Chain A
Amino acid sequence: MTRYVLTRFLLILPTLLTVAVLIFILVRIVPGDIVELRLVSGGSFVTPGVIEAERERLGLNKPLWDQFMEWMMGIFRLDLGLSMWSGNPVIQEIAIRLPLSLQLAVMASLIATAIAIPLGTLAALHRGRWIDQVVQVISVAGLAVPSFWLGILIILVLLGVFGYLPPLTFTPLLENPRANLAQLIWPALAVGYRYSAVTTRMTRSALLEVLREDYVRTAWAKGLARHVILRRHALRNALLPVVTVIGLEFAFLIGGLVVTEQVFNLNGVGKLIVEAIGQRDYTLIQGLMLLVALGYVLVNFLVDLLYAWLDPRITYQ
């Protein structure tokens, strides 16, 4: 097991390294740099000397190779450099936004799971009956509704019908849990519903497959109670693919809520990504992309570990 964990962990590094290299190249393909954007497009006249000095200050006129080495060496020292726009350390810029995004991702995943597993199970148990049809409609609709529109609708109803406006500024969970949840529960619901759709479908199809297995028939035959068969024999085996889906969705939720954060005016990682790209803040974009990739790779790693733990037959060759 230790061996498996280690080999699997080492596989993370090449992926992250490739991301670091590719991101560095891609960012520099984007037309226009931060200096041009900030000084020239402001409309005021600036002398070429000023532009040069600014490029010099940000290290943009160094040979690409030097810039690249600086970025790579920085990664190994866990130093992502300074944001070109604000001048603050990139790590700090991200650290301010990460708690919100992380919490939202956790809440949305919890909501999605709480909807998906019961609904998916219900649908599988009543395959082809009306309950199944209703669940299918709910989940197909979830995939079709843009979560940002659902967010707008939620606020429309809250404000229009109940005259209630959720708080607009972020309070850390530990500081004031009530205010924190009052703000984040709405976007979490909007996103969670959409993400429950995929998981519901996965739960349903995985469970249907397991329910056809011989050992389930044996369990019925030896007269076990329905809920015992379901919990101990069927669900436990069906949950493997479901766990994967939930994990991957969680990973994408951390940086992927670009639009929902805009609707709810949340200062999260997704919003920061849009801003950083818009401002051509190379160092910040690089740091953010590395973070998103890291999240995905780590979650994948954890899912694999969970797999190996849930199913002892899995080992790494």
Chain B
Amino acid sequence: MVEHALVERVAPAARRRSHPVARFFRRHPLGAAGLFLIFVLLGLALLAPWIAPYDPVANDFGAMFRPPSFRHWSGTDAYGRDVLSRVIFGARTALVIGFGASLIGATLGAVVGVVSAYFGGKTDLLVQRLVDVMLSFPIIIVALAIVSIIGTGTDKLIVAIALSFVPRVERVVRGSALGVRAMTYIEAAQVIGAGSWRIIFRHMAPNVVAPYLVMLTASLGQAILLEASLSFLGLGVSEPTAAWGLMLRGAAVDFATRAPWMAIFPGLAITLTVLAVNVLGDSLRDALDPRLRT
């Protein structure tokens, strides 16, 4: 009888140990909503040619500055291009650059951070002073400087934004890696003769995955904002490519007087995308590493 009761009490608990992903969704409904929105955006970006009502780069000088109507849901711009179609195609630019830059930047930053923590001494000192210098500039200035060296365009923009993330990610990952470095299993690996790179990638890297993932999602939103800012300045994606920041290019006063819809929809797209990414990132951080506050 007692045994039976015990089984009764244990069994439901065992059944409740569901898949970690399912648990994440249950505990972080907002994060799940963010993820859902990101999937919707990915869908829009992938299927853009079939969803967008118009060609995003087709000029129509008979239909310039048209306000939103049934023909053009979000109106048209100065070249008569359909704003909605450009917003939909803009998702491609934003996501390609956002994912590309944050993935490259966070990975590179994490590798540098772990390597710096592993070797320590002079290497670490040198790397940290360099990081100090880069961190004493606003991120947009760093990106701006890199763009002026390597040039504009989608691929170069990815590199510029990625590189400007490296010092920030490096700092955080290095912090965790220093803790891992002091663990006895690292010493054990050294004693049995494992090489430096083997220790770095097989023993240290897997143990800093949590801060890496947190920084990765944090950079994703940042990357999309940075791309929009640089394109807005005319130093990012160039015309006629559909990009949200580029669509906002110009003085605010011009929009207000001529075509407010040209400013509203691309900005909404940026905000919603970054919101989705950040909300997901926050939940992920809570789930993975509650101590990180970035």
For the complex, give the distance between the alpha carbons of A238 and B232 in Å: 38
Kindly provide the distance from the CB of A291 to the nearest chain B CB, expressed in whole angstroms. 11
Mark contacts of A217-258 with chain B using CB atoms, 8 A cut-off: 1 yes-contact digit, 0 otherwise: 000000000000000000000000000000000001001101
Closest residue to A258 on the B side, CB-wise?
B140
Closest residue to A149 on the B side, CB-wise?
B267
Residue contact B256 to A159, C-beta cutoff 8 Å: yes
Kindly provide the distance from the CB of B285 to the nearest chain A CB, expressed in whole angstroms. 11
Partner pick for A156 among B129, B133, B233, B255, CB 8 A cutoff? B255
Residue contact A148 to B232, C-beta cutoff 8 Å: yes
Quick check: is A263 within 8 A (CB to CB) of the other chain?
yes
Quick check: is B187 within 8 A (CB to CB) of the other chain?
no
Residue contact A297 to B229, C-beta cutoff 8 Å: no
Residues of A within 8 A of B136 (CB): 15, 19, 292-293, 296-297
Residue contact A273 to B144, C-beta cutoff 8 Å: yes
Q: Pick out which of these stretches binds chain B: A43-51, A71-79, A137-145, A304-312.
A: A137-145
For the complex, give the distance between the alpha carbons of A160 and B258 in Å: 10
Residues of B within 8 A of A289 (CB): 137, 141
For the complex, give the distance between the alpha carbons of A278 and B152 in Å: 12
Quick check: is A181 within 8 A (CB to CB) of the other chain?
no
Q: Pick out which of these stretches binds chain B: A25-33, A88-96, A107-115.
A: A25-33
At the interface, is chain A mostly helix, strand, loop or mixed? helix
Quick check: is A216 within 8 A (CB to CB) of the other chain?
no
For the complex, give the distance between the alpha carbons of A155 and B229 in Å: 18
Residue contact B274 to A277, C-beta cutoff 8 Å: no
Residues of B within 8 A of A256 (CB): 138-141
Quick check: is B98 within 8 A (CB to CB) of the other chain?
no
For the complex, give the distance between the alpha carbons of A143 and B279 in Å: 10
Of residues 38 to 73 in B, which have CB atoms within 8 Å of A's CB atoms? none
Quick check: is A134 within 8 A (CB to CB) of the other chain?
no
Quick check: is B75 within 8 A (CB to CB) of the other chain?
no
Residue contact A19 to B133, C-beta cutoff 8 Å: yes
Mark contacts of A1-28 with chain B using CB atoms, 8 A cut-off: 1 yes-contact digit, 0 otherwise: 0000000000000110011001000100
Closest residue to B225 on the A side, CB-wise?
A146
Q: Pick out which of these stretches binds chain A: B82-90, B189-197, B200-208, B245-253.
A: B245-253
Residue contact A155 to B275, C-beta cutoff 8 Å: no
Contacts A159-B256, A159-B257 given; indicate if A152 touches B267 (C-beta within 8 A).
Answer: yes
Quick check: is B132 within 8 A (CB to CB) of the other chain?
yes
Residue contact A146 to B270, C-beta cutoff 8 Å: yes
Quick check: is A314 within 8 A (CB to CB) of the other chain?
no
Residue contact B145 to A277, C-beta cutoff 8 Å: yes
For the complex, give the distance between the alpha carbons of A292 and B141 in Å: 10
Tell which of B228, B252, B267 has the most Cβ of chain A within 10 Å: B252
Residue contact B141 to A258, C-beta cutoff 8 Å: yes
Quick check: is B293 within 8 A (CB to CB) of the other chain?
yes
Quick check: is A53 within 8 A (CB to CB) of the other chain?
no
For the complex, give the distance between the alpha carbons of A18 and B235 in Å: 27
Quick check: is A64 within 8 A (CB to CB) of the other chain?
no
Quick check: is A202 within 8 A (CB to CB) of the other chain?
yes
Residues of B within 8 A of A259 (CB): 140, 229, 232-233
Residues of A within 8 A of B151 (CB): 31
Residues of A within 8 A of B263 (CB): 149, 152-153, 156
Quick check: is A265 within 8 A (CB to CB) of the other chain?
yes
Closest residue to A19 on the B side, CB-wise?
B133
Residues of B within 8 A of A156 (CB): 252, 255-256, 260, 263-264
Partner pick for A148 among B130, B229, B260, B278, CB 8 A cutoff? B229
Partner pick for A18 among B129, B139, B144, B255, CB 8 A cutoff? B129
Residue contact A258 to B233, C-beta cutoff 8 Å: yes
Closest residue to A254 on the B side, CB-wise?
B138
Partner pick for A143 among B129, B141, B274, CB 8 A cutoff? B274
Residues of B within 8 A of A22 (CB): 133
Q: Which 7 A-B pairs have the closest CB atoms?
A: A256-B138, A149-B267, A144-B275, A144-B274, A155-B252, A159-B256, A296-B136
Q: Which residues of B contact A (CB under 8 A)?
A: 129-130, 132-133, 136-141, 144-145, 148-149, 151, 221, 225, 228-229, 232-233, 235, 248, 251-253, 255-257, 260, 263-264, 267, 270-272, 274-275, 278-279, 282, 293
5 A-B pairs within 8 Å (CB atoms) are namely A156-B263, A205-B293, A256-B139, A258-B144, A262-B251
